[in-house]
Structure 1
Amino acid sequence: MTTTDIEQQLENLASPQERAKHLRGLAILKQIGGENFGGPVSQLARFSEDLARFTIQYPYGDVLSRDGLDLRTRQILTAATLLAHGSAQSQLSFHLTGLLNAGGTPDDVVDLLFISAGLVGFPTAINAVPIVRDILTDRCETENATRAKASPAVPDMSSDRVAILGRFAPDFLKWREDTLRDEIFGAVRLEPRLTHLASAAMLAARGKVGASFDGHIVSALAAGASDSDIVEMVIQQSVYSGFPAALNAAGRVKNVLAASARPQVSSRKSVETTKDDERRFVRGVATLAETSGGSGADVVDSFKDVAPGLGRLIVAHCYGDIFCRRALDPKVRELGAISALAAQGTVAAEKPLGVHIDAALNLGATREEIVETLFNVIPYAGYPLIEKALLIAHDRISLFNEKQSADKPA
C-alpha cells in the first residue's frame, strides 16, 4: 500500500459521530510519525480495526492533541514513560523519532538517557543505546530547542530521611549528592521544568509515586511549571503506562498542588560536570575486568558514539564506587545483581542479566548457585519472568562451559 492508500485506510476507520476526533488524532500522529506515520497502525488494523481506531482516537485525538502542552514536551514525556517501561522498544523508537519530528534534538534524546540511568537504573539507558544510535543516524542537530540556562537540581530529601540515612548508609547520601546530582543531573541540559516533568513521568510509569515523585513535582513547579502542566503529564500517563499509574500519580499530585506554600525557583547555575575522576575510573576498569571478563566492557563501549560520558560513568560509579566494595564477596554481589535483574523482568534488563551471569561464572559461581538464586525470586516475581531468566542463564552457562572446554590444553 502507498502512503496515500494507508492514510485513506486510516481515515475510513472513523465512524460519522467520531470523525472530527479521528481526523484530529490522525493529524497529530502524522506530525509525530513523519512520512511513514501510518504503517504501524495500518498493520494493527489488519488484526483489529477497533484497536486501530482506539489507538488513533484516544492517545492522539483525545490526549496528545490537547492544548495544555506543546508537542515537543509531550514527546519528551512519552519517551520518558516508555524508557521507564523497559519492554516497549518499538514504541520507544517511534516516539524518540517523533520527538525529533516535533522539534526536539539529539541532545533531548541523550538527556533522557542520563535521567533514566539515575532514576530507573543503568540497564534502561544501556538498552536504549542501539535505538538512539539508529534514530540519530543522518541527524546533524546538536543544540536543544531551548537550551537550559540552569542545570536541573535533584529534589531535596526530607530532613528525617537524611538523618536516618546519614546514620544507616552514609555512602548512599554521598553518591546521591555526587553522582545523581552532579554527574547525572549535572550533565543534563534539558530545561529544568522539562527535566522534572520527565523525571516524574518515569517514576509514575514504574509505579514509584512516593517521596521522590513528589520531589520532582515540587521541583517542576519551582522551575516554572504550571498546575496545568503537571495535570497534563498525569493525563498522558493514562495512555503510555495505564490508568492505574495515572490514578496513583493523580492522588500524589493533588496533595502537592494543595499545599499552601509554593516552591521558589531554583537558583542553581548550569555547570559542566566531569566528576568521574580518574582514580574512580581506573578502579572501575579493574573491577570490570575482574568480574565481567570483557562482556561488560562491550556494553560500556556501546555508548562511545552516543553518550560517551554516560558510558564512562557506568565504569566510574557502578564498578569504581559500588561493585568494588568488599563488604560482600564478589560472587555474592553478582548473584545479588542476577536476582535484581531477573525480578525486573523487562527487555531492558535481559542483556545486563547475561553480563552478570557471566561475571558470576567468572568468579566461581556454579550452575546450581545461579539456578537457586533464580528459584529464590519466583515467589516475588512469578513464574513467567523466572522462566525467561532461566533460559538466559542456560545460554550463558552453556557458552561459558564451551569456552572453558576449548581453553583446556589438548
Structure 2
Amino acid sequence: MPMTEHVSSPETEYNQAPAERFRRGMLLLQHIGGPDFDGPINRLSRLSKDMARFTVEYPYGDVLSRPGLDLRLRQICTISALLAQASLQPQLKFHMEGLLNVGGTPDDLVELLFLSTAMLGFPIAIDSIGIVRDIFTERGLAFAPKEPDDGDGTDRYRRGLGTFRDLMGMDPSAFSAAFASISPELAQWSLEFVFGDVMARHGLTNEDKHLAIISMLGATGNRSELMRLHLRAAVAGGVTLPTLAEAIMQLSVYAGFPAALNGFALLGAVVEDPPDQHPTTADLHPTPVAEDTGSESRRLRRNRGLTALAATSSASGEAVVHSFDDVAPEIGGLIVEFCYGDIFHRSGIDAKTRELTACAALAARGAATDVTPLRVHIRAAIKAGARKDEIVETLLNMLPYSGYPAIRQAMILAAEEFAAIQP
C-alpha cells in the first residue's frame, strides 16, 4: 500500500504544515531512493505509522529539502556520517545508491572509502567495499579503478606537506604540536599517510573533503579538537558558514541532535576566533614539522609490509588486501604499505602483544565493520604464539570498558575461530 494512503487529508491550518512536510519529504525521498523509494517506509509503517511519518517529515521534508546544500553534497555528508557509525550497513547502502541517483559518481563512493581509511580506520573501508561492489554489480556499472601513482613513494612527505597547506591553511607544526614530542612517528605519518596518500587524491574537491571529514568527525563524537581545526580550515578555504551550518544540521538526522549541537558549538567557537586564528596559505611558516629527508620508497615499505603480513595474518590478511583489487586496489596497497609496512613490522612490542592489542581494540568497538578484522587478528594472535586462554583473557579484560554485548559478540567470534583451527 503506498505510504501516502496512511496520511489523512488536512482540514485545518494546524494539520496543513505536517501534510506539506510529508508531501515534500516523499518527493525528495523518491528522487534519492529510486524505484523502490517507498519500500522501507511502507515496511516500517506496518510496525509504526507514526515512525514512518516521522522518518519522511523531518529528515526529508525539513532538513534534506533545504536549499543550502545540493543533493550530491548532502548525500556525501550522509554517507560520511553513516560510515563513521560503522554498523548501519542497510542505511549506508541506501544512501550510497542515493548518491548515484542524485548525480554523484562511482568515483565519489570510492574516494569516500579512501577518506575513511584516514579518518575512521581501515575496518570501515574493508567492510564497505563489499557494499560498493554490490551496488556496481546490481547497476551493471563497469567501474575501472584509477591508475595507481607510478612514483617511487619518496615524495610522500613533500606531497603531504603541500596538500596539508592547500587543504588546512595552517602551519603543519601547529597541527601536530600536541603529540609530536611524544610520537614523532605519528606526526610524520599524519603528513605522509593522511595528507600525502589520502588527502592528496584528486577525486573529490576540497569542499567535498571538508564536508565529508566534518561529517565523519561529528558523527564519531569526541573529536572536538580535530573537528574545530577542520571547521577552521574549511572557513579559511572558502566554504561558507551557511554551507557548514547545513552540513552540521544534517548530523541531527543521521547522528542525532547531540552530535549536531556539539558541531554548532564548535562552529560558533571558530566564528568567534579572532582573525589571526584563521591563517591563510600566505601566512604559513615555511618550516615543516620535521626536516624533509625524503620518505622511504614504496618498494621498501611494500616488501617490509608483505613480510610482516606473511608472518602474522598470512592467507586471511592477504584475502582482505585482495578484496579491493577490482574496485580500489590502492586501498589494498595502503594496507600492505602503511598498516604492515609502516606500523605492524615495528619492534617496539612483540608480535603477540601487537595482535592481542588489535583484538582488544576491535572487540571494544564492537561494530559490524570490525567482525572480519577481529577474525583476522584472532588468527594472527594464535600464529604469533598467543594461547587461546590469553585471547580469552584479553577479551574479558575489555568488559568493564565496553560492556557485555560487545564482548559477548567478540567471544562468540573467538570460539568460532578456535573451532576452525582445530587440527
In the superposition, the TM-score normalised over structure 2's length comes to 0.86
Residue aligning to 2:6: 12
Structure-2 change in CA distance of 1:279 and 1:11 (3 Å): farther
- For residues 257 and 63 of structure 1, the distance between their equivalents in structure 2, rounded to whole angstroms, comes to 23
Q: What is the 5 A alignment of 1:258-269?
A: 258-261=272-275, 263=278
Structure-2 change in CA distance of 1:275 and 1:91 (3 Å): farther
Deviation of the 1:141 alpha carbon:
7.3
Q: Which has the higher contact order (CA 8 A, sep 6+)?
A: 2
Residue aligning to 1:63: 63
Counterpart selection for 1:395 from 403, 410, 416: 416
Q: Which amino acid aligns with 1:290?
A: A
Q: What is the 5 A alignment of 1:69-88?
A: 69-88=69-88
Q: Does 1:330 align with 2:351?
A: yes
Deviation of the 1:165 alpha carbon:
2.9
SS of 2:305's partner is helix
Residue aligning to 2:237: 223
Deviation of the 1:251 alpha carbon:
1.0
- For residues 163 and 76 of structure 1, the distance between their equivalents in structure 2, rounded to whole angstroms, comes to 31
Question: 37-46 or 181-190, which moves further after superposition?
Answer: 181-190
Q: 1:215-241, CA deviations, whole angstroms, 9 ceiling, x for partnerless residues?
A: 211222233211001111111000000
Q: What is the 5 A alignment of 1:318-357?
A: 318-357=339-378
Deviation of the 1:208 alpha carbon:
3.1
SS of 2:181's partner is helix
Give yes or no for contact 1:183–1:276 (8 Å, CA) kept in 2: no
- For residues 175 and 126 of structure 2, the distance between their equivalents in structure 1, rounded to whole angstroms, comes to 30
Counterpart selection for 1:174 from 162, 182, 188: 188
Deviation of the 1:384 alpha carbon:
0.8
Give yes or no for contact 1:83–1:124 (8 Å, CA) kept in 2: yes
Give yes or no for contact 2:144–2:327 (8 Å, CA) kept in 1: no
Q: 1:256-305, CA deviations, whole angstroms, 9 ceiling, x for partnerless residues?
A: 1222327466599xxxxx98701101111111111012101101101011
Q: Which amino acid aligns with 1:215?
A: L
Q: Does 1:54 align with 2:48?
A: no
Deviation of the 1:136 alpha carbon:
1.9
Deviation of the 1:212 alpha carbon:
1.2
Question: 203-212 or 302-311, which moves further after superposition?
Answer: 203-212
Structure-2 change in CA distance of 1:318 and 1:52 (3 Å): same
Question: 293-302 or 133-142, which moves further after superposition?
Answer: 133-142
Give yes or no for contact 2:145–2:326 (8 Å, CA) kept in 1: no
Q: 1:75-100, CA deviations, whole angstroms, 9 ceiling, x for partnerless residues?
A: 00000000011000000000000001
Residue aligning to 1:203: 217
Q: Does 1:315 align with 2:315?
A: no
Counterpart selection for 1:304 from 320, 325, 350: 325
- For residues 319 and 143 of structure 2, the distance between their equivalents in structure 1, rounded to whole angstroms, comes to 27
Give yes or no for contact 1:197–1:216 (8 Å, CA) kept in 2: no
Question: 213-222 or 20-29, which moves further after superposition?
Answer: 213-222
Q: Which amino acid aligns with 1:180?
A: V
Question: 159-168 or 304-313, which moves further after superposition?
Answer: 159-168
SS of 2:200's partner is helix
Give yes or no for contact 1:292–1:358 (8 Å, CA) kept in 2: yes
- Structure 2's unaligned 5+ residue stretches are 147-161, 285-294
Give yes or no for contact 1:357–1:393 (8 Å, CA) kept in 2: yes
Residue aligning to 2:158: none
Residue aligning to 1:193: 207
Aligned-pair Cα RMSD in Å: 2.3
Q: 1:48-91, CA deviations, whole angstroms, 9 ceiling, x for partnerless residues?
A: 11110000001000100011100000000000000011000000
Counterpart selection for 1:286 from 289, 303, 307: 307
Give the length in aligned residue pairs: 386
Give yes or no for contact 1:280–1:321 (8 Å, CA) kept in 2: yes
- For residues 161 and 186 of structure 1, the distance between their equivalents in structure 2, rounded to whole angstroms, comes to 17
Residue aligning to 1:375: 396
Give yes or no for contact 1:331–1:365 (8 Å, CA) kept in 2: yes
Residue aligning to 1:365: 386
Give yes or no for contact 2:26–2:60 (8 Å, CA) kept in 1: yes
Give yes or no for contact 1:204–1:249 (8 Å, CA) kept in 2: yes
Q: Which amino acid aligns with 1:181?
A: F
Q: 1:98-135, CA deviations, whole angstroms, 9 ceiling, x for partnerless residues?
A: 00111100111111001111011000111100001011
Q: Which amino acid aligns with 1:254?
A: G
Structure-2 change in CA distance of 1:289 and 1:13 (3 Å): farther
Structure-2 change in CA distance of 1:223 and 1:14 (3 Å): farther
Q: Does 1:139 align with 2:133?
A: no
Structure-2 change in CA distance of 1:257 and 1:140 (3 Å): farther
Give yes or no for contact 2:309–2:340 (8 Å, CA) kept in 1: yes
Give yes or no for contact 1:151–1:188 (8 Å, CA) kept in 2: no
- For residues 391 and 89 of structure 1, the distance between their equivalents in structure 2, rounded to whole angstroms, comes to 21
- Structure 1's unaligned 5+ residue stretches are 145-149, 269-273, 406-410
Residue aligning to 2:30: 30
Q: Which amino acid aligns with 1:28?
A: L
Deviation of the 1:162 alpha carbon:
3.4
Question: 208-217 or 116-125, which moves further after superposition?
Answer: 208-217
Give yes or no for contact 1:11–1:23 (8 Å, CA) kept in 2: no
- For residues 296 and 386 of structure 2, the distance between their equivalents in structure 1, rounded to whole angstroms, comes to 34
Q: Which amino acid aligns with 2:204?
A: L
In the superposition, the TM-score normalised over structure 1's length comes to 0.89
Residue aligning to 1:124: 124
